[in-house]
Amino acid sequence: RQKSCCSLDEAIDARSACHRLDIPFYVLDYQKEFRETVIDYFINEYSSGQTPNPCVMCNKKIKSDLLLKKVDELDCDFLATGHYARVYNNPESGRPQLARPQDLRKDQTYFLHGIPANELPRLMFPLAEIIKPAVRKIAGNLNLSAAKKPDSQEVCFVPKDYRTFLKQEMKAAPVQGEFISVSGDVLGEHAGLPFYTIGQRRGLGLSDTTPYYVVKIDKAQNRVVLGKEDDLFSQTTHVSRVNWVSIQAPEKPIRVSAKLRYAHQGASATVFPASGNQVKVEFDSPERSVTPGQAAVFYQDDILLGGGRIENSP
């Protein structure tokens, strides 16, 4: 997508910046890997009635995994990235931990929870202690074009309407099915599971005295379950594929602030360890729109402990 973080324009600007700063510039072609691990994942998750988080997958599979392999090939010691994050060396445990940056408004640690703990010591985040206006000022003093660029807000490979992208990229057309109520009554017909996500209100084509919301997507029955606003709230959720980046996997319940999406402020909760890198999360108060496929990320103060993939409740 033009003007995105991965566009040709951005690559040209990066080359220009390196030339101005007199540092080497390398172009790495990861189109195939990006397609397989990020774009195909995005399509497959929506096709399965889940809501993907491609930025999490990109940081895990491309920006850490593949780039760290390139670091080894180039015989370098560290990988430095422009993420707003921080590596904190805990004096008590002696281990590095992933922590929030000084500029909390730009905090990107949520997207980095999949980094393997053993790779954390090899990462550097130069923006850890700098707020965004100061970064722009530095870039301006160096006459870099990045000084005046708008912040990237969208998924880099998707236009504003992801549904249009899915229609173009999916090999088979989505199958229509039933809208049903939480009590099982048929309310209408949906256009295909990939076009809906938990909490969605617009585009349902149904009216009532109070709005309907998507509260569950039933892949097995090809149904979209609709309810009212109160039906969106959950007291618990289950999280799989948990990666503990800053601590050893806990053996007992721990108290955390659980962040359920990037813009989420975090909810006070207790994490109960289960088998196979899974946990159960019990919120102090019911949380709205807990969405399967998204990431649940666990914090204590500024330290990101770990995180994983939200699953459908059993």
Residues 284 and 217 in one domain: no
- Residues spanned by the domain of 252: 232-311
Answer yes or no: is 168 within a domain: no
Domain finish residue from 131, 148, 165: 148
* Burial tier of 168 (Cβ tally within 10 Å: 0-12, 13-18, 19+): exposed
d(CA 8, CA 54): 20
**297 Cβ contact list (under 8 Å, min separation 6):** 109, 110, 113, 258, 259, 304, 306, 307
User: The domain spanning residue 189 has which CATH number?
Assistant: 2.30.30.280
| Residue 273 CA: distances (Å) to CA of 263, 270, 301 | 25, 10, 20
* pLDDT tens for each residue of 26-75: 889 999 999 999 999 999 999 999 999 999 999 999 988 899 999 999 99
Residues 19 and 111 in one domain: yes
Answer yes or no: is 278 within a domain: yes
Of the candidates 5, 6, 18, 58, the residue annotated as catalytic is: 58
Confirm if 224 and 187 have CB atoms less than 8 A apart: no
- Quick one: pLDDT band at residue 126, thresholds 50, 70, 90? very high
156 has catalytic annotation: yes
According to DSSP, residue 9 is labeled H
Of the candidates 6, 18, 55, 156, the residue annotated as catalytic is: 156
Residues 62 and 105 in one domain: yes
Residues 184 and 111 in one domain: no
User: The domain spanning residue 15 has which CATH number?
Assistant: 3.40.50.620
* pLDDT tens for each residue of 105-116: 999 999 999 999
Q: What is the pTM of this model?
A: 0.92
The more confidently predicted of residues 264 and 1 is 264
| pLDDT surpassing 70 at residue 314 | no
Answer yes or no: is 154 within a domain: no
58 has catalytic annotation: yes
Mean pLDDT taken over the chain: 92
What tokens does 208 get? 């009532």
| pLDDT surpassing 60 at residue 172 | yes
Answer yes or no: is 160 within a domain: no
* Burial tier of 189 (Cβ tally within 10 Å: 0-12, 13-18, 19+): exposed
What tokens does 7 get? 């566009």
